[in-house]
Homo-oligomer: A and B are copies of this chain.
């Protein structure tokens, strides 16, 4: 089974476990709408790629880790799009959850996805209980109030903001969790894998900033120019598109060099280089390649 199919099945199973005749029907519909069809599923693919490189001895644990991280990512998109934050009308090429279902169901769908992420871990990792607490703490930290995506979003509510801290919390934290969780799900020491994910997260954020100024709304499935419109920190605004591309290449080199020794390290390096190019608008990715 290819990685994408495996991820969609894991997400489908996680949601199916939580549905049932008692679940309020509009809430269930809003949750499926928030998760399917997905974007690039980059974070769960990273979980699978790292677990694969480390042996992937308990695939159910890997699937649960991948699904939980994607569910948390979807939750953050639903809440970030709310009127009090970005008030985004469009997400993944269709109306945002609050535009389609109302603000109340958007708040609740985001909440439910957070809860579901932890339930999914509890179910999927049950056969290897010794790995559960560590996976929970890895995943919890990636979204938490200290340096996770909630902290990242909360920096937008502070009078002063440091660009590096903001991006580390808002984006890199979930990537660091993806690589660490991939290792932990495979029973491997997770800590050495965090740096790889952090660098990839920073690289992804820069690619996102570049897309926001250099892609089209059609490519992106959401409006471009949002960083400027919301006066948000952005590497492309700060360094220019060329400067941001140079920084991106350096980070990707740094990331693949930092991959800890493991059976599948060579394949993982190749995969990462290929995937990064797919994050850029076509014209730019040809220039980098």
Q: How far is the CA of A132 from the CA of B105 in the complex (A)?
A: 30
Within 8 A of B (CB), among A137-195: 137, 140-141, 143-148, 150-151, 153-158, 165, 169
Binary contact track A61-84/B, C-beta < 8 Å → 1, others 0: 000000000000001000100101
Would you give the shortest CB distance from A79 to chain B, in whole angstroms? 6
Q: How far is the CA of A82 from the CA of B103 in the complex (A)?
A: 10
**Which residues of B are found within 8 Å of A133, using beta-carbon distances?**
122-123, 125-126, 129, 132
Answer whether residue A18 sits at the interface, using C-beta atoms and an 8 A cutoff.
Answer: yes
Number of copies: 2
B119 A22 Cβ-Cβ under 8 A: no
17 pairs from A and B in contact (CB 8 Å cutoff): A18-B145, A24-B151, A104-B153, A105-B154, A108-B150, A108-B157, A111-B114, A115-B144, A115-B148, A116-B140, A116-B144, A116-B145, A119-B136, A119-B137, A122-B133, A122-B137, A132-B132
B118 A118 Cβ-Cβ under 8 A: yes
Across the interface, A158 reaches (CB within 8 A) one of B24, B140, B154, B155, namely B24
**Which residues of B are found within 8 Å of A19, using beta-carbon distances?**
145-146
Lowest 10 CB-CB distances: which A-B pairs, in order? A122-B136, A27-B154, A119-B140, A112-B145, A84-B103, A24-B154, A118-B118, A129-B129, A22-B147, A126-B133
**Which residues of B are found within 8 Å of A147, using beta-carbon distances?**
22-23
B112 A144 Cβ-Cβ under 8 A: yes
Report the nearest B residue to A27, measured CB to CB. B154
What DSSP secondary structure best describes chain A's contact surface? helix
Q: How many residues of A contact B (CB 8 A)?
A: 59
Answer whether residue A107 sits at the interface, using C-beta atoms and an 8 A cutoff.
Answer: yes
Report the nearest B residue to A145, measured CB to CB. B112
Question: Which positions in A face B, CB cutoff 8 Å?
Answer: 18-20, 22-28, 31, 75, 79, 82, 84-85, 102-105, 107-108, 110-112, 114-116, 118-119, 121-123, 125-126, 129-130, 132-133, 136-137, 140-141, 143-148, 150-151, 153-158, 165, 169
Name, among A25, A116, A140, A145, the residue most crowded by chain B CB atoms within 10 Å (CB to CB): A145
A150 B104 Cβ-Cβ under 8 A: no
